[in-house]
Amino acid sequence: MSRIHPSPRGTGVYSKLFIGLCIGLICALCCTSEPESLPLSTELVIELHWDAPEPEPADGTLRIENDLGVSYHIDTGYLISFSVEFLFCEEETTVLERLWSLFGVAKAYAGHGGDETLEQRRFVAPLVEDLRAHESVRMGTFMPMDGDYCSAFYLIGRAEEQHGIANLPTDVDMVSEELSMILQGTYTLPGSSEAVPFIFSTRSAQGRTDDLTNGKGHISPLQIPTTSRTLHISRNLDTMLDGVDLSVMDHEAAGIQIIGNLVEGTNIQVVD
């Protein structure tokens, strides 16, 4: 009895048709499917603000009377806002540890201080602020790593070239001695009309951890990723010189006191 064997050529034709249909189906699905939606990038704008004394002087000189009744007229004044670090809600470390991680003897700069997440949570962007103008400025835009943040650490630091410093003044040199602040002007003691000239500078680096709050002053944790937000860092210029009496304090002690006053009066607010 004879048997009919399928033709090898016929089998090949069917195989090619089947493969062609599969490819066509895949292409059709790719062309008609909805494009995948990508998550929006988180944009956190960091702004520096001042609570300034009123009224503003007409001659461009910053005039502040402190709690001791000493009147200061500041002709030149510069401050370096150095960095902002976001702290997880459960995180607890001291101010001294944070200062050491940036300015310690071991030079353990951001991301190299033993915490591998620091580089993704710390925004280092040294910026010189003109205290006499005390204008609001944008420090920069930063996207911390995903997580829940309940507080932030604001740091006034030194002018160290390896970090780069924005808005360096041309009338004074802050880099050669790595200054964090410099003030120049005159002061008048209570009951006196004599204006005594002064100029002092300091390398003091100080910071403050402050709860993140909303416009009503309530604690407002920052959840990343999130929609675009703005971080307002406000300092109190009116109390900057409280406790400072250059008739009995040396320049270094005065500098430490002033920066301490500024960080103590720091308020960090999250704004939609």
Residues 6+ apart with CB under 8 A from 228: 42, 43, 44, 45
pLDDT for the residue 243? 96
What residues form DSSP beta bridges with 92?
none
Q: Give domain status of residue 251, yes or no.
A: yes
Q: Give domain status of residue 39, yes or no.
A: no
The answer to whether residues 59 and 74 touch, using CB atoms and an 8 Å cutoff, is: no
- Residue 215 above 70 pLDDT? yes
Structural domain harbouring 48: 44-95+121-271
Q: Give domain status of residue 27, yes or no.
A: no
pLDDT for the residue 176? 94
Domains: count for the chain:
1
- Residue 173 above 90 pLDDT? yes
Q: Give domain status of residue 219, yes or no.
A: yes
Q: Give domain status of residue 33, yes or no.
A: no
Q: What is the pLDDT of residues 217-243, one digit of tens each?
A: 888 889 888 777 899 999 999 999 999
HSE value, Cβ hemisphere, 13 Å, CA-based, for 40: 9
Q: Give domain status of residue 215, yes or no.
A: yes
| Mean pLDDT rounded to a whole number for the chain | 80
**3-state DSSP assignment of residue 1:** coil
Q: Give domain status of residue 88, yes or no.
A: yes
Residue 51's nearest CA partner among 205, 256, 261 is 261
pLDDT for the residue 50? 96
Pairing assessment for the beta strands 44-51 and 267-271 based on DSSP bridges: unpaired
The answer to whether residues 110 and 162 touch, using CB atoms and an 8 Å cutoff, is: no
Q: Give domain status of residue 135, yes or no.
A: yes
Q: What is the pLDDT of residues 95-153, one digit of tens each?
A: 555 555 554 433 333 333 456 788 899 999 999 999 999 999 999 999 899 999 999 99
CA distance 121 to 149: 10
pLDDT for the residue 93? 54
Work out the average pLDDT over 62-79.
Answer: 94
pLDDT for the residue 218? 85
SS3 content of the chain, % helix, strand, coil (to 5): 20, 35, 45
